[in-house]
């Protein structure tokens, strides 16, 4: 009798697993739903994406605004106005969508529905994605391409960077980049760049006529590495990227009539300074909003001697970086003013993550005519998208 019960139980488990797997596998209707939904239109912005050719960069190269800037938007063409009637450039950032085979079709559908409502509610001038579009490299051909068609269907320019799940080595990450720079999508912004820098470091400018009022630098924070003590952990910004970042910021200033340009750095993995910033925020030393509901998983956070800090924050801050915006930690949502910068998490867009009971969708960054910015958090509540002042 006992063996029969065990056998029956195992049969039921197998049926459940098969049913779940069948409900997860992408089908033809899901794959083709957004193909052809984008309409090619004349662009009111400059874009210079990568081609399939291998790109090279050297520190002695002369900075060229046409060649080295991936995209440029004049704020006069933005869709929004601030309270004084001045144009406002709105960026809607998504992160950690994880559109992959380990989620049911219903879960993926719900995530895209929430994102659609978020984009409709915010009507941004630009959509950015700070990594982890998928969870597994093998989902590149079906799941990632479906997500890209979906993002393209808004007919709003969209600019992704890679997260730690978007390929675990340079070959895989380069293959992910191939998807972005294919001819399939009308509105994508992406630059592959020199492999010595990783995959996907590029510049997006916001201008007011000939003046650059703010630059967004999209930065590859890579995936994983083995540290000297043998610990496997999240990677950090590579040394050649330090040089490229400084070269880019100095080049932008020179092109801007030798005037410094305020910079936002969008990346996936949070920097080590996020830990000190949040601890100080909890103690009332630093101002900020929202809350963190999980450990800050920064480079080398599992190392016995503590996280790895190679100094990129100090380097970027010294070059005029005013905002760091990351993803990665799904239930963290803090924005904290720290040492003259803002260290911010973008709210997770996976569709099934919450911060303090509130289902998160995304974050907007709105840039004013003077290059200043404001952050807003968005949640999904009873089928509606709402901005919220504080999730704490």
User: For the domain that residue 232 is a member of, what is the CATH number?
Assistant: 3.60.21.10
- DSSP label at residue 271: P
Is residue 193 classed exposed, middle or buried when 0-12, 13-18 and 19+ CB atoms within 10 A define those classes?
buried
- Percent of the chain at pLDDT > 90 equals 88
- Over residues 125-168, the pLDDT tens digits come to 999 999 999 999 999 999 999 999 999 999 999 999 999 999 99
User: For the chain, how long is the longest CA-to-CA vector?
Assistant: 85
Across the range 245-255, mean pLDDT stands at: 98
Across the range 204-221, mean pLDDT stands at: 98
pLDDT of residue 57: 95
In angstroms, rounded to a whole number, what is the distance separating the alpha carbons of residues 245 and 312? 10
Domain with 161, as residue range(s), is 2-388
pLDDT of residue 13: 42
Across the range 241-252, mean pLDDT stands at: 98
Q: pLDDT confidence of 41, banded at 50, 70, 90?
A: confident
Per-residue pLDDT at 84 exceeds 80: yes
- Which residues lie closer than 8 Å to 349 by C-beta, 6 or more apart? 94, 95, 96, 97, 111, 114, 115, 118, 360, 361, 362
Six-digit token string for 151: 């993002």
- 3-class state of residue 351 by DSSP: coil
In angstroms, rounded to a whole number, what is the distance separating the alpha carbons of residues 200 and 223? 13
Compute the mean pLDDT over every residue in the chain, rounded to the nearest whole number.
93
- Percent of the chain at pLDDT > 70 equals 94
- 3-class state of residue 281 by DSSP: helix
Q: 107-110: long-range contacts at Cβ-Cβ below 8 A with a sequence spacing of 24 or more?
A: 107/351, 107/352, 108/30, 109/30, 110/351, 110/352
List strand residue ranges (DSSP E) for 209-348, in order: 211-218, 224-226, 232-234, 263-266, 288-289, 321-326, 335-338, 341-345
In angstroms, rounded to a whole number, what is the distance separating the alpha carbons of residues 23 and 17? 10
- Over residues 355-375, the pLDDT tens digits come to 889 999 999 999 999 999 999
Q: CA torsion sign, 185 to 353 to 373 to 344?
A: negative
| Pick from 150, 43, 48: nearest CA to 94 | 150
Give me the phi and psi of 242, to 5 degrees please. -55, -50
Q: pLDDT confidence of 78, banded at 50, 70, 90?
A: very high
Per-residue pLDDT at 10 exceeds 50: no
| Pick from 308, 324, 307: nearest CA to 316 | 324
Q: What is the CA radius of gyration of the chain?
A: 21
Per-residue pLDDT at 18 exceeds 50: no
In angstroms, rounded to a whole number, what is the distance separating the alpha carbons of residues 237 and 266? 12
Number of domains in the chain: 1
Q: pLDDT confidence of 20, banded at 50, 70, 90?
A: very low
Q: pLDDT confidence of 2, banded at 50, 70, 90?
A: low
List strand residue ranges (DSSP E) for the chain, in order: 46-47, 71-74, 80-81, 87-94, 126-130, 158-161, 202-208, 211-218, 224-226, 232-234, 263-266, 288-289, 321-326, 335-338, 341-345, 354-355, 358-367, 373-381, 384-388
């Amino acid at each position: 009798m006992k063996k029969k019960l065990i056998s029956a139980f195992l049969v039921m488990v197998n049926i459940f697993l098969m049913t779940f797997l069948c409900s997860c596998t992408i089908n033809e209707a899901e794959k083709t739903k957004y193909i052809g939904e984008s309409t090619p239109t004349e662009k009111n912005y400059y874009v210079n994406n990568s081609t399939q050719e291998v790109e090279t960069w050297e520190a002695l190269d002369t900075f060229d605004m046409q060649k080295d800037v991936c995209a440029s938007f004049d704020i006069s063409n933005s869709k929004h106005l601030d309270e004084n009637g001045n144009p406002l450039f709105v960026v809607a950032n998504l992160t950690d969508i994880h559109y992959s085979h380990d989620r049911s079709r219903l879960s993926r559908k719900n995530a895209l529905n929430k994102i659609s409502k978020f984009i409709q509610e915010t009507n941004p001038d630009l959509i950015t994605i700070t990594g982890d579009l998928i969870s597994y490299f093998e989902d590149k051909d079906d799941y990632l391409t479906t997500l890209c068609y979906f993002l393209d269907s808004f007919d709003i320019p969209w600019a992704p960077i890679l997260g730690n799940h978007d390929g675990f080595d340079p070959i895989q990450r380069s293959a992910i980049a191939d998807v972005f720079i294919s001819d399939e999508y009308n509105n994508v912004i992406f630059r592959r760049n020199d492999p010595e820098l990783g995959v996907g470091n590029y510049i997006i400018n916001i201008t007011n006529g000939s003046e650059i009022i703010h630059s967004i630098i999209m930065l590859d924070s890579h995936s994983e590495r083995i540290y000297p003590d043998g610990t496997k952990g999240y990677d950090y910004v590579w040394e050649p990227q330090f040089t490229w970042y400084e070269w880019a910021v100095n080049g932008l200033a020179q092109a801007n009539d030798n005037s410094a340009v305020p910079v936002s750095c969008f990346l996936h993995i949070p920097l080590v300074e996020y830990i000190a910033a949040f601890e100080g925020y909890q103690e009332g030393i630093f101002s900020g909003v929202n809350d963190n509901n999980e450990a800050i998983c920064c480079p080398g956070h599992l190392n016995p001697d503590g996280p790895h800090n190679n100094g990129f924050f100090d380097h970027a801050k010294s070059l005029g970086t005013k905002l760091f915006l990351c993803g990665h930690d799904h239930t963290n949502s803090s924005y904290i003013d720290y040492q003259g910068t803002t260290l911010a998490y973008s709210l997770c867009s996976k569709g099934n993550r919450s911060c303090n009971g509130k289902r998160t969708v995304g974050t907007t960054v709105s840039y004013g005519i003077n290059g200043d910015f404001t952050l807003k958090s968005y949640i999904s509540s009873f089928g509606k998208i709402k901005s919220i002042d504080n999730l704490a």
